[in-house]
Amino acid sequence: MSYCLNPSCPKPINNPKAKICQACGSKLLLRDRYHLVKGLGKGGFGATFLAADISLPGNPLCVIKQLRPNTDNPNFLSMARQLFEREAKTLGRIGSHPQIPRLLDYFEDRKQFYLVQEFVKGNNLQQEVKKHGLLNEEKVRQVLKEILVILKDIHNQKVIHRDIKPANIIRREIDDKLVLIDFGVVKNQVNTVASDNNNTALTAFAVGTPGFAPPEQLAMRPVYASDIYALGVTCIYLLTGKAPKNMDCDPLTGEINWDKYLNVSESFSEILHTMLEVSVKNRYKTAEEALQALDIENHLDSLSESMISYSSGNIDPFSNSSSRGNRSTSRIADNIRSRHTSINPAAKRTIAGQDFKKTHSNRTSFSRGTSIGKNSSDFKKSTSFGTSAYDLNRPVKLEAQALLDYYSTGRRDFNQKDLSQQNLEKANLAGAHFHESKFIKTNLQGADLSGVDLSSADIRQALLRNANLCRAYLYSANLEGADLRGADLSFTQFSGAKLKGANLCGANLSNANITEAQLKEAKTNWMTILPNGRRGLW
């Protein structure tokens, strides 16, 4: 069909081959190239349409946003034009991001303003929940991390989205990545205020969506933390299927009483609470702060859970003789968590990352038990097996087949194991924990290592070609000389990792946490997908 752009047209739907609207006589082809296929949505100040660009081969689809100032007041139109151009420039600047629709064109036509953007095929998260049901905590964590990475990038461009909600996050069909849409062009409302000299003063402000927009944004003072709040509400919706208006709120503080509607881990609940603080000073101020908290909590949970099996003091058939060393690690995680929850939200965000790094850097001294007894004899007595401190810190040798057998029975905890020079080609080890383990010259070609904990692991000269390390945790790992050609390293944490001589040619590093200095030490080529989503040398 053909769609008429005239806001007052009584019957905007026309025959697909029509060139003039049969109801109002308006020209249907916009700018002699855009054939409007259907309406996607509309509001008081604008509308969105799906269109085909008939000037290009294949008539590719695009999205056209129309700003409709319903007035002939020249001052009003002048201000609307300025706001429109400013918004278009903003979209043009941030539209190079691989998870934000590109701005293709913008123009004025018959006193109405138009933006043309890339069409993203897929369902938004609101549609996903309605079609497939609620998301579990793990999936919501993934959504949260992916959107926080996008917000970090747009905030660095000094842009506040102002309308984060499930309907504005699309899961792109072609690659399953999340795309953030609708940067408030049709949400920019224009008010008229009478001044002393009877002239008209014009202002614009982004209202956002009630329930998702925090108080400071509704008071026309949005900050970067406003997007963090709206993303927190989005997570609640994904977990409960309930919009904020359908939840109770505290009449004294204005906080949403969402806790009773869902059951999530204590650590994730703490993150959501901080994101949803009504007061900006108690909320995460930036996407980076929220990302750091999410990474820390994720791995504290993993460390604690991976040590539960050692708490009984029983001998594990393939563990280190030092169950004490592992219990020490568990206590470290517990101490960090208790310290994290006992201090105020603003302070904990400041020190959480420092404490986590300090804990990892001091892990060796804890595992050797230097603070357990006054002397070596006291220390030996405190262990079940009477082994030396040196033995306690030595990784236990584990054969490839034994590892795979244990993994197949549901075992995931393989911390401090020596798997050097083993053949684990195409092995499925997703979600396993290999903290401080050795993989020197190990064959992991084509292996599934998604979500694995390889913090402080020694992976020098390992073969990881075409391996899947998506969302892996490589904090302080040694990857010097490793072959990572064609590996999926998207969303991987490389903080503190050594990459000297590592081969990243053709690897996918999109949204990975990796520094420029680390990339300069590694090998890349024009097929490498960099953290910003672009291909090429660093």
Please state the rounded mean pLDDT for residues 279-293.
93
Q: Which pLDDT value is given to residue 69?
A: 66
Q: Which pLDDT value is given to residue 435?
A: 92
pLDDT at 340 over 70: no
Question: How many Cβ atoms from other residues are within 10 Å of residue 19's Cβ?
Answer: 11
Question: How far is CA 532 from its chain centroid?
Answer: 13
- For the chain, give the number of residues: 538
pLDDT at 199 over 60: no
Q: Which pLDDT value is given to residue 441?
A: 95
Q: Which pLDDT value is given to residue 208?
A: 74
User: 393: pLDDT confidence band, cut at 50, 70 and 90?
Assistant: low
Q: Which pLDDT value is given to residue 481?
A: 95
User: 296: pLDDT confidence band, cut at 50, 70 and 90?
Assistant: confident
CB 356 within 8 A of CB 362: no
Q: Which pLDDT value is given to residue 182?
A: 83
In sequence order, what are the beta bridge partners of 63?
50, 117
Which of the pair, 263 or 357, is modelled with greater confidence?
263
Only one residue has tokens 């584990």, namely 398
> Hey, what long-range contacts does 20-29 have (CB within 8 A, 24 or more apart)?
28/2, 28/3, 28/4, 29/54
Q: Which pLDDT value is given to residue 280?
A: 92
Q: Which of 354-358, 361-365, 442-446 has the highest mean pLDDT?
A: 442-446
User: 449: pLDDT confidence band, cut at 50, 70 and 90?
Assistant: very high
Q: Which pLDDT value is given to residue 94?
A: 83
Catalytic annotation, residues: 163
* Euclidean distance between CA atoms 6 and 403, whole angstroms: 67
Please state the rounded mean pLDDT for residues 364-390.
36
CB 257 within 8 A of CB 250: yes
* Euclidean distance between CA atoms 438 and 498, whole angstroms: 14
Question: How many Cβ atoms from other residues are within 10 Å of residue 394's Cβ?
Answer: 14
pLDDT at 68 over 50: yes
Q: How far apart are the first and last CA of the chain?
A: 47
What pTM does this model have? 0.56
Which of the pair, 134 or 346, is modelled with greater confidence?
134
Which of the pair, 73 or 494, is modelled with greater confidence?
494
* Euclidean distance between CA atoms 160 and 315, whole angstroms: 54
Q: Which pLDDT value is given to residue 489?
A: 95
Please state the rounded mean pLDDT for residues 238-261.
85
CB 237 within 8 A of CB 270: no
- Burial label, 92 (beta-carbon count in 10 A; 0-12, 13-18, 19+): middle
* Euclidean distance between CA atoms 408 and 400, whole angstroms: 12
Q: Which pLDDT value is given to residue 299?
A: 58
CB 407 within 8 A of CB 432: yes
Q: Which pLDDT value is given to residue 400?
A: 94
CA-CA distances (angstroms) from residue 370 to 311, 392, 417? Answer: 20, 12, 22
Q: Which amino acid is present at 198?
A: N
Please state the rounded mean pLDDT for residues 293-322.
52
Q: Which two tokens stand for residue 327?
A: 């219990």
Please state the rounded mean pLDDT for residues 375-379.
39
* Residue of 163, 134, 180 whose CA lies nearest to 229: 163
Question: How far is CA 276 from its chain centroid?
Answer: 17
Please state the rounded mean pLDDT for residues 76-86.
73
Question: Worst-scoring range by mean pLDDT, 82-86, 415-419, 497-501?
Answer: 82-86
Q: Which pLDDT value is given to residue 333?
A: 47
User: 375: pLDDT confidence band, cut at 50, 70 and 90?
Assistant: very low
In sequence order, what are the beta bridge partners of 448?
428, 468
User: 8: pLDDT confidence band, cut at 50, 70 and 90?
Assistant: confident
Q: What pairing do the DSSP bridges indicate for beta strands 29-30 and 46-53?
A: unpaired
Q: Is 65 one of the annotated binding-site residues?
A: yes
Please state the rounded mean pLDDT for residues 453-475.
94
Question: Worst-scoring range by mean pLDDT, 54-63, 350-359, 436-445?
Answer: 350-359
Domains along the chain with CATH numbers: 2-118 (3.30.200.20), 122-282 (1.10.510.10), 309-390 (no CATH), 395-538 (2.160.20.80)
Please state the rounded mean pLDDT for residues 504-526.
91
Q: Which two tokens stand for residue 82?
A: 């300025």
Q: Which two tokens stand for residue 519?
A: 């990339």
Q: Which two tokens stand for residue 427?
A: 């092995």
Q: What is the DSSP string of 234-291?
A: HHHHHHH---GGGS-B-TTT--B--GGG----HHHHHHHHHHT-SSGGGS--SHHHHH
